[in-house]
Amino acid sequence: MKSQKKDRLREMQLAFIGKLMAGLSHDFKNHLAIIKELNGLIEDLLLLDETRQPADIERYKKIITGINERIAQAAEMCRVLSGFSHRMDQPLSSLSVTDVLQEKIYLLRRFAQQKQVEVISSFAGDLPAIYNNPSLLQFTIFCILWPVLELMEPDGRIVITVGQKDESIEIVIQCEGTLKRLEENTPWEDMLPEVVHMLGADFSRGIDQKGNENMVLIISSLEMTHREATE
Amino acid sequence: MSKVKVLVVDDEIEFATTLAERLNIRGFETTCCFCTEDALALIHAREFPDVVLLDLKMPHMDGMETLEEIKKYNPTIEVIMLTGHGGGISLIGAERKKHSPFDCIMKPADINELTSKINQAMAKRQLAISKGEGV
């Protein structure tokens, strides 16, 4: 009972962060929508103004296009952040591994750029949905990818491939480049076996013929594989 | 040919008024309401718009409830939801409700996409009217 209460508390902590983040991203979108309409109105009025010189119009249109491009980029960030935040709404739900991974890769993009590490991903089409804990899957993927980003030398490459293997979803992470070796594991690596177990998944790592580290996470697409739900 | 009458319902006043001005420039006849109560009062007074652009998240009454109220008065009025919420119609659960919006457009919206959807919604309304549906 005590453990159930602890689990519930942890779920509610996540849900609370998720709700606030989702609300914030919603507000950002509203501001962006207003900026976009105001920018659009400037363009409309400019095009209606027959006294303007064509050269002026072109210059203003270029500025307006630049603003619109930035709005589109910020709106995409809000969309991803909103999706990421809503993953914390439910402790168990049907979800797309592709969507969760795409969100996570997008959110880690900035850190990868700072580390000069390229992240490449490919997803098989028509992958079945899995029934599991969405935020736990996010966290598992983070526990795998974050240490790689921290330890990889510049100009490395992380290749993520997602496909189906029998009734499971297989995520293969190939680390092309040199990984720094530390005397101790990062806290994320230490946490990984436990979160993989809770997710009801299997995780393995090995070195390929080229000397690159490969990691494989296999999650069953069958319902109720999540160990917290069954135990 | 008479102008398509559009009602913009959004509590973000600057968004609603700017969008209305842009739609007017494009040949629509646009009115704004900044709360659902005013929008419903307008419709109750039989000032029927052809298409309503309705913000999903509004104080007091949310977009889906307002949609139900609008459709009660005149089922031929088409409603396009505007939302900052990711996931579109499936996420707002519209498919489980008695009435569905014509479409659900994510904010910030593209004006060309929006005008195209308004014209499509208007075509649907005209078809319904020609079949004798509505009030």
For residue range A124-144, list pLDDT tens digits in order: 988 888 888 888 999 999 999
What single letter denotes the amino acid at residue A105? I
Return the DSSP state at B133: -
Interchain pair A33, B14: CB under 8 A: no
Residue with tokens 């307008």: B42
pLDDT at res. A229: 46
Indicate whether A150 pLDDT > 80.
yes
- Mutation for B interface: A21, A32, A36, A37, most B CBs within 10 A: A37
Indicate whether B95 pLDDT > 60.
no
Interchain pair B18, A32: CB under 8 A: no
Burial class (CB in 10 A: 0-12, 13-18, 19+), A6: exposed
Of A29, A38, A44, the CB nearest to B107: A29
Which CA distances in Å does B123 have to A71, A87, B71, B120?
Answer: 31, 38, 17, 5
pLDDT at res. A179: 84
Interchain pair B14, A34: CB under 8 A: yes
Band (B134; pLDDT cuts 50, 70, 90): low
Indicate whether A215 pLDDT > 60.
yes
Helix (H) or strand (E) holding A39: helix A2-48
Interchain pair A40, B22: CB under 8 A: yes
Band (B133; pLDDT cuts 50, 70, 90): confident
CA contacts within 13 A on the Cβ side of B96:
4
Of the candidate ranges A151-165, B1-15, B83-97, the one whose mean pLDDT is the lowest: B83-97
Q: Is A176 helix (H, G, I), strand (E, B) or coil?
A: strand
Indicate whether A230 pLDDT > 50.
no
pLDDT at res. A36: 96
Closest C-alpha to A18, from A164, A133, A147, A184:
A133
Interchain pair A83, B85: CB under 8 A: no
Indicate whether A64 pLDDT > 60.
yes
Indicate whether B116 pLDDT > 90.
yes
A71 and chain B in contact, CB less than 8 A: yes
For residue range A90-112, list pLDDT tens digits in order: 888 888 899 999 999 999 988 99
Q: Are strands A93-95 and A130-132 parallel, antiparallel or unpaired?
A: antiparallel
Report the sign of the C-alpha dihedral through residues A61, A66, A70, A72, in that order: positive
Whether the model pTM is above 0.80: no
- Mutation for A interface: B8, B10, B13, B14, most A CBs within 10 A: B14
Indicate whether B92 pLDDT > 80.
no
For residue range B29-77, list pLDDT tens digits in order: 999 999 999 999 999 888 889 999 999 888 888 888 999 999 998 999 9
- What span, in angstroms and rounded, lies between the C-alpha atoms of A164 and A144? 19
Band (B94; pLDDT cuts 50, 70, 90): low
Burial class (CB in 10 A: 0-12, 13-18, 19+), A110: exposed
Contact assessment for residue A173 and residue A215, using Cβ atoms and an 8 Å cutoff: yes
pLDDT at res. A52: 79
CA contacts within 13 A on the Cβ side of B15:
25
A26 and chain B in contact, CB less than 8 A: yes
Average pLDDT, chain A: 87
A11-35 burial, b if ≥16 CB within 10 A, otherwise e? Answer: beebbeebeebbeebbebbbbbbbb
Average pLDDT over residues A211-216: 90
- Both tokens assigned to B74: 């005149």
A21 and chain B in contact, CB less than 8 A: no
Q: Starting at the earlier edge strand, list the strands of the sheet with B29-33.
A: B29-33, B5-9, B51-55, B78-83, B103-106
Contact assessment for residue B107 and residue A32, using Cβ atoms and an 8 Å cutoff: yes
- What span, in angstroms and rounded, lies between the C-alpha atoms of B98 and B62? 15
Interchain pair B22, A78: CB under 8 A: no
pLDDT at res. B135: 53
